[in-house]
Amino acid sequence: MECTVAYIRDTHPNSAQLWESLKDNIAFVLSHPNGWEGLEQSQMRQAAVHSGIIEDTKGGHAQLTFITEGEASLHFAIEQGVLKDANLKDGDGVVVVDAGGGTIDVSAYIYGNTNPDQPGDPPVFKEAFIPQSYFQGSIFVTVRAMDYLRSAYSHHYQYPGS
């Protein structure tokens, strides 16, 4: 929080006035792995309280919103214009795959108008199914490759520690 305040004060014109206008109306959005739900979100909320960025009150808790990493990735792709030329039509789908070090997170979204009675409403992305998280990230690929190579070539070479 201190770094954020310093950044605003150091980079924006009229920073003192800007900060005064913002400081009492801050919303925090924290992303978490797809598989995390109530327990993990509760722990993150308590960490936010403990760190002092929100108060341990109903109003303080209301300042905090959680989204999955898949949803955060979708928002980033939209913001960066990745989907701009995709010519998405009502009912088209988008799949977000986050292949990380420990997990592979898969999220799917359907593009379209959620309120057919209001054709002027802008289309949105709606979750197509519950996001999934698999403990199959790159670290597991590395471990499996090492196991395979040791098994395949053990008769040619004695590995240290084996």
| Burial (Cβ within 10 Å: 0-12, 13-18, ≥19) of residue 133 | buried
What are phi and psi for residue 87, nearest 5 degrees? Answer: 50, 50
CA 35 – CA 159 distance, rounded (Å): 37
Global confidence as pTM: 0.70
Does residue 10 belong to any structural domain of this protein?
A: yes
> Is the separation of the CB atoms in 136 and 101 below 8 Å?
no
In this prediction, residue 43 carries a pLDDT of: 97
Does residue 162 belong to any structural domain of this protein?
A: no
Range of the domain at 62: 2-140
In this prediction, residue 120 carries a pLDDT of: 65
> Rounded to 5 degrees, what angle do the CA atoms 122, 124, 126 make?
155
Does residue 148 belong to any structural domain of this protein?
A: no
> Rounded to 5 degrees, what angle do the CA atoms 78, 40, 136 make?
65
Does residue 65 belong to any structural domain of this protein?
A: yes
In angstroms, the Cα distances linking 12 to 6, 15, 18 are: 10, 5, 8
Does residue 146 belong to any structural domain of this protein?
A: no
Q: How many domains does the chain have?
A: 1
Does residue 24 belong to any structural domain of this protein?
A: yes
Does residue 79 belong to any structural domain of this protein?
A: yes
- In the chain (162 residues long), the average pLDDT of successive 10-residue segments reads 87 88 90 88 96 93 93 91 85 90 90 73 85 88 90 74 59
Does residue 88 belong to any structural domain of this protein?
A: yes
